[in-house]
Structure 1
Amino acid sequence: MLNLIAGILVPEEGVITMNGNVVNSLEPEDRNVAMVFENYALYPHLTVFENIASPLRSPKYRQPEGKIREEVERVAKILRIDWLLQRLPSELSNGQRQRVSLGRALVRNPEVFLMDEPLTHLDAKLRHQMRAEFKEMQANLNTTTIYVTHDYLEALSLADRIAVLNQGRIEQIGTPDEIYYRPATEFVAEAFGEPEINILTAGLVNKDGWMYLNLLGDSDHFAVPGRVRQALEEHGADTVRAGFRPKDIKYSFTGDPSMLRASVYSFEPLGAKAILTVQADGQLIRLIAAADLDVKPDQPIYLKFNVEEAIFFDSGTGRFIARAGEKGVRSVG
């Protein structure tokens, strides 16, 4: 997609427009786009300074030398590579090369920035810092940026709008809130969040004037919120897929009648928190637990599901039906 926008590839059908103008026939150098490649694509014989400066020395976008030095030093300070300006790419780490590649794009004033996983090769601490820097830079630059990433944290923290692609097709386009709280499909729901959302098949049971989920062999304790009952009734199916984020499932080792019995399957401490996987009715369910929790495999555990935060999907197509919660309810046909 980035190659198509940049003009490196030609679309087989459809049109690409920038500022209302069709650019399909324009050569890459005439589109005024700045691209950051995942594999850096640096000039090996040029210093860091010369690599960053190269767009400002091209025949089409040439700038005075004083302006070039000013812009290169400004961008290098933002990226914390101002002390590397006289080095060659072969003398840099992968993370430093990635920042030089970023600098070469940021020194421009293009119509659009195209970024192909620009933070992939940075260490975790620097990646976190650069996310914050990107957010500030984008606010200051006010330039359209198309940013490709497999990291859902980058997407949620940086984007105004997110397009989720699945095998070349767009599953959903929306704001970070829409993508996270009202995912259009199960694929989108599973792509955002760590640990991954739990999506379980559930029957719909009407009794005593209430609608219940027959979930994990229990049809007495999962009352469907009134805010989504109408959407489920209009949907017409007697089976749905119910999604529960790990944070919306509470656990206890001294269960009460409103809780569902399960057993501990695995425990993964991750520093400040842990991922606790339990088994109930043959299904594995992921929870968030305290890192210092003392548990053993097959130990009995009791679960309480917050149905008020459940996300409901069609059991056949996997498409969103409705959700109740603080972010509201929306039904998708």
Structure 2
Amino acid sequence: MARIQLENVKKKFGKVTALDGVTIDVKDNEFFVLFGPAGAGKTTMLNCIAGITLPEEGLIKFDGEIMNLVDPAHRNVAMTFENYALYPQMTVYDNMAAALRSNLYKTDEATIKEKVYKAAKIMKMENLLERLPSQLSNGQKQRVAMGRSLVRNPNVFLMDEPLAHLDAKLRNSMRTELKKIQADLGSTCIYVTHDFLEAMALGDRIAIVKEGRIVQVGSGDEIYYLPCNKFVAQLMGEPQINIIAGKMMVNGSQRQFVINVLGQEVALPMPEDAPLFAKLDQLGEVSLEMGLRPQNIAYRFEPAEGYFKATVYSYESIGNKSVIVAECGGYQVRMIAPNGLHVDIDQAVYVKPDVGHAMFFDGQSENFVGRYAEADYRALANEEA
């Protein structure tokens, strides 16, 4: 397999900048995930690596060898496209065998049959091998496209949202299979997704992509617990993180985070042993935004000390848990709740943020400032890495 490097890669389509100085270093045998919203440039990055698209600037290297002018056929990459790209006149078997029958990767028919049937078994489509693409559902076509990549032994697997069209049950099982396949083959894999759970489950490392730039690269835990800015914090997590604007103030020896609730300033005391914020003390008052994951906000339906009154905006059951969205002082706050809870819209609910689990972002730049017990989270991220 191969180590894949992009160095200051830039690509424009007319006046639109798709990639703006992208630099990544994918290790040999690594499962590397490109994660970001639609239109961020993830697919363009894959196309540049495959040779389908040529960058205007920058270098693309396989094991240190510059590949910019090498045509796609000779880069030895296997790519699964989001739009399948199957040969309509060929059966599923022949589609999967096509690359192994080409002049470049000519393989004997016995070996082809063995590899195709092995891939078909992994993809759970042994009964589809004699069908044409026109006789398949979108999810089945997606599996054929993935199977066509798996019969190869390329430098790198490039996968562009390959599970997007599968049903939920098959998608979950295929996550497990993909990780196992990659480990068994010892292959390098670059995987594109905009699904948070896929990124966390599959990636040895994750690169966050925004507007053609790499924002942050790290393990799933590192990016989840220590995001470099508010954008990354909001991207990582389901349900999305709660962001509450306020200011950090020092009152004698006590630090407080002050928020505005219904026109009144409310001070949330910070843990006494929060050393991270000592660097802010000399400024006296700093505009910050507090990020709290839904699981770090407590709720109850009777008044209690330290709880703020809010109103239930919505209640959503999402399988193994539920989400309460409450309106409180102009904010919509998301909280995790157990299934089977009886909640009425517009009923009163009382919420309490656990500031000890909060992360803080600069109110102007939106960059990460710090969080309580940050050293513990950094140690956790290093262990995972």
Q: If the TM-score is normalised by the length of the shorter chain, which range does it land in?
A: over 0.9
What's the counterpart of residue 339 of structure 2?
291
What's the counterpart of residue 177 of structure 2?
133
What's the counterpart of residue 42 of structure 2?
none
What's the counterpart of residue 148 of structure 1?
192
CA separation of 1:235/1:104 partners in 2, compared to 1, >3 Å: closer, same or farther? Answer: farther
| Cα shift readout 1:208-257 (whole Å, capped 9, x = no counterpart) | 41101112445443324513222544787611111000000010112322
| Cα shift readout 1:55-112 (whole Å, capped 9, x = no counterpart) | 1111111111111111111111111111211111111111111011001101100011
Whole-angstrom CA distance in 2 between matches of 1:144 and 1:25: 21
Structure 1 stretch displaced more, 23-32 or 260-269: 260-269
CA separation of 1:231/1:55 partners in 2, compared to 1, >3 Å: closer, same or farther? Answer: farther
> Shift in Å at residue 308 of structure 1?
1.4
CA separation of 1:7/1:81 partners in 2, compared to 1, >3 Å: closer, same or farther? Answer: same
What's the counterpart of residue 3 of structure 2?
none
What's the counterpart of residue 330 of structure 2?
282
In the alignment, residue 4 of structure 1 is paired with which amino acid?
C
Match of 1:222 among 249, 264, 269: 269
After TM superposition, the structure 1 = structure 2 runs for residues 182-193 of structure 1, keeping only pairs within 5 Å, are 182-193=226-237
> Shift in Å at residue 288 of structure 1?
1.2
Give the structure-2-normalised TM-score. 0.82
Contact 1:228–1:329 (CA under 8 A) maintained in structure 2:
no
CA separation of 1:235/1:126 partners in 2, compared to 1, >3 Å: closer, same or farther? Answer: farther
| Cα shift readout 1:95-137 (whole Å, capped 9, x = no counterpart) | 1110110011011000111111000000011100100101111
In the alignment, residue 267 of structure 1 is paired with which amino acid?
Y
Contact 1:215–1:222 (CA under 8 A) maintained in structure 2:
no
CA separation of 1:139/1:292 partners in 2, compared to 1, >3 Å: closer, same or farther? Answer: same
What's the counterpart of residue 312 of structure 2?
264
What's the counterpart of residue 22 of structure 2?
none
CA separation of 1:137/1:232 partners in 2, compared to 1, >3 Å: closer, same or farther? Answer: farther
Q: Secondary structure of the equivalent of 2:340?
A: coil
What's the counterpart of residue 246 of structure 1?
294
Whole-angstrom CA distance in 1 between matches of 2:253 and 2:281: 13
> Shift in Å at residue 262 of structure 1?
1.8
Contact 2:274–2:373 (CA under 8 A) maintained in structure 1:
no
Is 1:303 aligned with 2:351? Answer: yes
> Shift in Å at residue 305 of structure 1?
1.1
Aligned length: 330
Contact 1:235–1:321 (CA under 8 A) maintained in structure 2:
no
Structure 1 stretch displaced more, 201-210 or 16-25: 201-210
Whole-angstrom CA distance in 1 between matches of 2:97 and 2:377: 50
Contact 1:314–1:320 (CA under 8 A) maintained in structure 2:
yes
What's the counterpart of residue 91 of structure 2?
47
CA separation of 1:46/1:226 partners in 2, compared to 1, >3 Å: closer, same or farther? Answer: same
Q: Secondary structure of the equivalent of 1:53?
A: helix
Match of 2:366 among 315, 318, 322: 318
CA separation of 1:183/1:281 partners in 2, compared to 1, >3 Å: closer, same or farther? Answer: same
Q: Secondary structure of the equivalent of 1:15?
A: strand
> Shift in Å at residue 325 of structure 1?
4.1
In the alignment, residue 113 of structure 2 is paired with which amino acid?
R
Whole-angstrom CA distance in 1 between matches of 2:84 and 2:304: 57
What's the counterpart of residue 102 of structure 1?
146
> Shift in Å at residue 141 of structure 1?
1.4
Whole-angstrom CA distance in 1 between matches of 2:318 and 2:57: 47
Contact 2:225–2:377 (CA under 8 A) maintained in structure 1:
no
> Shift in Å at residue 142 of structure 1?
1.5
Whole-angstrom CA distance in 1 between matches of 2:87 and 2:136: 13
Q: Secondary structure of the equivalent of 2:256?
A: strand
What's the counterpart of residue 113 of structure 1?
157
Larger relative strand fraction? 2
What's the counterpart of residue 87 of structure 1?
131
Contact 2:270–2:356 (CA under 8 A) maintained in structure 1:
no
Is 1:69 aligned with 2:117? Answer: no
Contact 1:34–1:105 (CA under 8 A) maintained in structure 2:
yes
In the alignment, residue 122 of structure 1 is paired with which amino acid?
L
Contact 1:212–1:219 (CA under 8 A) maintained in structure 2:
no
Contact 1:232–1:322 (CA under 8 A) maintained in structure 2:
no
Contact 2:250–2:281 (CA under 8 A) maintained in structure 1:
no
Contact 2:312–2:349 (CA under 8 A) maintained in structure 1:
yes
Contact 1:266–1:276 (CA under 8 A) maintained in structure 2:
yes
Q: Which consecutive residues of structure 1, in runs of 5 or more, have no partner in the other structure? A: none
Shift >4 Å, 4+ stretches: 234-237
Q: Which consecutive residues of structure 2, in runs of 5 or more, have no partner in the other structure? A: 1-44, 379-385
- Identity %, equivalent residues: 47
